[in-house]
Structure formats: C-alpha cells, structure tokens
Amino acid sequence: MSNELRPLCGILDSMLERLSVVEQKLGVVPPAAGASTASRSTAAALASAIVEDDDEALPRLAAYDEHMSRALTPFTEACTALGPEMEGVGSSIRDVWLGVRNIVELGCKFKKPANLLQSIQPHLKPCQDGMSKVRSARIDRKFDWHLKAIMEMLASVSWVVTTPPPTPANFVKDSIGASDFWANKVRKEYKGKGDEGAKHVKFCDTMKGLITDLSAYLKEHQTLGLVWNPHGKDFSEAKVGEGSKPAAAAPKPVAPKAPVGGASAADILSELKKKQTGDGATAATGLKKVTRDQQTWRKEFKGGDAAPAPTPKVPASKPPSKFGAKKPLGPPKCEYQDRGCKWNVENQTKESCPNGVCSVEVTDPKQQVYIYKCQNITIQIKGKLKSVVLDSCTKCGVVFDTAISACEVVNCKSVQVQATNVCPSFSIDKTDGIVVYLSKDAISQSSFVTSKSSEMNVSWPDVSGEIKESPIPEQFVHKLVNGSVTSEVSDLYH
C-alpha cells in the first residue's frame, strides 16, 4: 500500500463504519439508488483497489516469490526429470514452500499474536500435509537416498516457528551438511553415468541451491526470525487459507489503480466533507440529525437503556506445556569429586562460561573427566588424564592432551573432539555428527569403535602437514560365507 493511500483507506473505513452504526440505531435505511450508493461504491472500489495492490508493495513477500521462482522451480523441475514418482515428491515440496509463503504473508499483514505457535498452527496445515506426503511416499528403492536428503532439507522449514529463533540464515544453512550427507551418496552413485546420471546430480545441486537461496533470503529479509507488521490488523481476523497466490514472475512496480469512475482520492475526500446541501448528495444523505440527548455516550442522553458497560479484558491463561517439550538445564557445575577421582562438568553454556570456554586442570593421571549436557561451549582439559566421557552434549568441542585409556562419546549431536597428543581408543555411540581430530603421534595408535551413530569423520595431518579428513564408515555389506557372517565396508567409502 502506498504512503499516500494508506491514510485515505483508514479515513474511509472509519467514516463508513460510523455512518453504519448511526443508521442501525436510528432505524434509517439508506436509499437503494442515487448518489449515496454511487459514493459508497466508489469508496468501496477504492478500498478494494488498495487491498489488491497491497501484495505488490510488500517487499518481504515479493522477495519470497522471487526466491521460489529462482530456486524452488529448478528443484521441482529436477524432480520431474527423474520420473513420475519423484515428480509427485517435487509437487509436495512446492506445497510446503507455498505453505511457508502463507505464513510470510500473514507476518506482512498482521500483528504478532500473543501465543505464536498456537495461533498459527491452523495455518501450518499445508506445510504439514506436504511433509506427510513426502514422508509416506512409496517409490522405487533407488530413490531412498534422495528421500533421506529431502527429509534432512525439510528441517530448514522450521525457521518460521522456532522461538526464540537462532539466526535464521545460519539455522537454515546448517541443514546443508545433513542433506549433503545423503546427496553425496547419490552423486557418487550416478557420477559419470551419462545423461541419466546427470539428472540425479542436478537433483542434488538444485536441492542444495534451494537451501542456500533460502538462507540468503532470510539473511536479508527475516534477519531475526519471522517479521510481523506492528501496524497491521489483529491476528484474530486472519482466515485459514486466505493467502494470495505467488506471482508468476518477479513483481514489478505498478502504479496505484485509479478509483472507479475516474475520480481521484482528493475528489472523494472532498465529496465526503461536503455538507448536505443542494451541491450534491453524499454518503450521509437521508440521515436524521442526531441531537446531544440522543447520543448515548453523553450525559444528556435520556432515552432507552444505558449503553452496556465495556467487558473487562481477561488476561489469556498460559497454555499448558506441550508433551515432549525440552526440560531446562540444571545448574552449571564444574567440580572435582575425590570419590572416583572424577571431574564433573555439567550443564555448561555460553552464559555460564566466560568466552564460551570451560577449563579443567587435571593434576593426577588417575583422574577422569565426565562432561554432561553441555551446549555451545568448548571444554579445554589441561594435563594427562585417565579418560574423557562426553554424554548428551550438543554443539560442543573438547580438547585434551593425552588420555591413557579412552575417549567416549554417547548421545551427542554436532560435537568435535581433539587429542593434541595421544588417545588409544575412541568409542562413539548414539551420536549424530562428530569430528575427531588426531595429532601426528596418535595416527598409528588410535582405534575407533562405533555403534548407532551417523555423520562421523576423522581428521589428521599427512606427511607434508596437510590436513586430511575422511568419513568413518556407517554402511557395511554382510555375507554368509562357510556358515558364518562376514562384513565388509560398503563401496561408498572406497
């Protein structure tokens, strides 16, 4: 909506609403035809024209349409090129992106609701339906990796409801790694296999491009999470499924539509301000004059029942916590226990650690360090110790010198472990996303035992000092040979 027409729309709405209330109280029916009807029709047409042009003046929504045209369309076309089965999956992904567009449009037009998740839940149904279709798709087994990559990519959609949000652009970009884990398997499987293989590689490239482009859109237009309009309508007026359709191409600036009948905005305002004289009928034509004793809000009012007292607003009750909500962390600890010769490092975060680093001074090689439920920090262990255990931690790094026994990682997500000297054994269990950095001395001495884990990598320096990195195998081929089961690493890791 242009700045010139925005005040006009408010004036028209206010005046027409007041006239309607007066008509109802006095029992006056406006003329069925004539200048009054024409004036009201003109005002209504102007308001309609303003609403129709509103989408073209919303840069966040227009930019999202450009993002869909620029990145979503190539991805859905790549899905279609893989055959009818993947074409249906691509169509479901488009439904998900259109559902997010509806939420972006709500943010452009309405104020932020008090209870965000509960209020927008009905509007999220198109997204949820699209995801359900992808999740329940029954297609050829050769597309298993494709579907897994898509499901990892769909995690990026939750930026729209994450509260309090991380930086949305970084949150979305983080999903590239998980999606690429499966997409790289597709690339390796179909690399160098002619035109058919090129279609699968293009699917991977356009999917990564879709996430990258969404991250760029968020960085520019939704920097701190979904933006709402502080001057918009109350969210209670939002209707499910009422959103507009995206433009076929990037929207271009369009001049405001002229009011019906060729009248300008100034002409309409002038007509509404006219007195009821012979100069011409206005929207107030036919209304009786209301004296002071007939105005219910004045003390002179004598007739009829008194106006009802305004209903006091009852503060909304706090909604019950949802099942499965994350429990808050306990108090942070970094203490030594003589019994067991153990350091307990628990519930440490950026807020509890200066500069995001928690330091532990080990004074005896018999001591061990147990790290539990820490988030977004680095634990630096100084001195030779018996063992290190990392349990239920997220986005943490652990640096230690020498571990005599082992380093164990269990129930963790996105962690990094570095042995600056030697550690003979690394045990990784129920962990998603881990990088183990080995020193030059530890290369020939370290071994790995893994189970129920994914996205595992090991990094080490080669003879020239250049850092190398390789995935730890997750997939194996098992065969029955001479009455016993033999296992070999899948060809994906060769």
Strands 484-489 and 476-481: antiparallel
The number of domains in the chain is 2
Q: CB of 267 within 8 A of CB of 257? A: no
- Give the list of residues 6+ apart from residue 359 with CB closer than 8 angstroms, or none: 379, 380, 382
Q: Tell which residue, 419, 437, 429, has the closest CA to residue 454.
A: 429
Instruction: For residues 258 and 402, state if they share a domain.
Output: no
Percent of the chain scoring above 90 in pLDDT: 29
Of 272, 300, 324, the position where a domain reaches its end is 272
Q: Give the per-residue pLDDT at 249.
A: 45
Instruction: For residues 250 and 368, state if they share a domain.
Output: no
* C-alpha angle 310-14-123 in degrees, rounded to nearest 5: 75
Cite the DSSP H helix spans in 325-445. Answer: none
pLDDT tens digit sequence for 52-98:
344 443 788 899 999 999 999 999 999 999 998 899 999 999 999 99
Instruction: For residues 237 and 340, state if they share a domain.
Output: no
Instruction: For residues 26 and 173, state if they share a domain.
Output: yes
Instruction: For residues 263 and 366, state if they share a domain.
Output: no
From residue 116, give the alpha-carbon distance in Å to each of 122, 241, 320, 335.
Answer: 11, 17, 14, 40
Residue 477 parent element (H or E): strand 476-481
Does residue 77 lie within any of the structural domains? yes
Question: CA-CA distance, 64 to 70, in Å (whole number)?
Answer: 10
Instruction: For residues 468 and 384, state if they share a domain.
Output: yes
Q: Give the per-residue pLDDT at 23.
A: 59
Instruction: For residues 6 and 110, state if they share a domain.
Output: yes
HEC states along 55-107? Answer: HHHCHHHHHHHHHHHHHHHHHHHHHHHCCHHHHHHHHHHHHHHHHHHHHHHHH
Two structure tokens written together for 484: 């016993």
Beta bridge partners of 334: 345
Does residue 277 lie within any of the structural domains? no
Q: CB of 402 within 8 A of CB of 421? A: yes
Q: Give the per-residue pLDDT at 237.
A: 83
Q: CB of 454 within 8 A of CB of 430? A: no
Q: CB of 333 within 8 A of CB of 353? A: no
Two structure tokens written together for 44: 């209504």
Does residue 205 lie within any of the structural domains? yes
Does residue 168 lie within any of the structural domains? yes
Does residue 308 lie within any of the structural domains? no
CATH number for the domain that contains residue 470: 2.160.20.70
Q: Give the per-residue pLDDT at 368.
A: 93
Of 237, 254, 272, the position where a domain reaches its end is 272
Q: CB of 346 within 8 A of CB of 332? A: yes
Question: CA-CA distance, 174 to 5, in Å (whole number)?
Answer: 42
pLDDT tens digit sequence for 368-400:
999 999 999 999 999 999 999 999 999 999 999
Instruction: For residues 465 and 363, state if they share a domain.
Output: yes
| Amino acid at site 426 | F
Question: CA-CA distance, 459 to 442, in Å (whole number)?
Answer: 11
Of 272, 287, 313, the position where a domain reaches its end is 272
Instruction: For residues 76 and 174, state if they share a domain.
Output: yes
Q: CB of 5 within 8 A of CB of 47? A: no
Does residue 53 lie within any of the structural domains? yes
| Amino acid at site 312 | P
Find the Cα–Cα–Cα–Cα dihedral 68, 69, 75, 76, rounded to 10°.
90
The domain containing residue 432 runs over which residues? 333-493
Question: CA-CA distance, 17 to 11, in Å (whole number)?
Answer: 10
What are the φ and ψ backbone dihedral angles of 75, each rounded to 5 degrees? -70, -45
CATH number for the domain that contains residue 47: 1.25.40.330
Does residue 281 lie within any of the structural domains? no
Residue spans of the chain under pLDDT 50: 1, 31-57, 249-260, 262-263, 275-278, 306-307, 324
Does residue 284 lie within any of the structural domains? no
For residue 340, what is the DSSP state? T
Residue 361 parent element (H or E): strand 357-361
Question: CA-CA distance, 266 to 494, in Å (whole number)?
Answer: 76
Q: Give the per-residue pLDDT at 73.
A: 94
Two structure tokens written together for 457: 């990598």
Instruction: For residues 245 and 344, state if they share a domain.
Output: no
Two structure tokens written together for 466: 């250049």
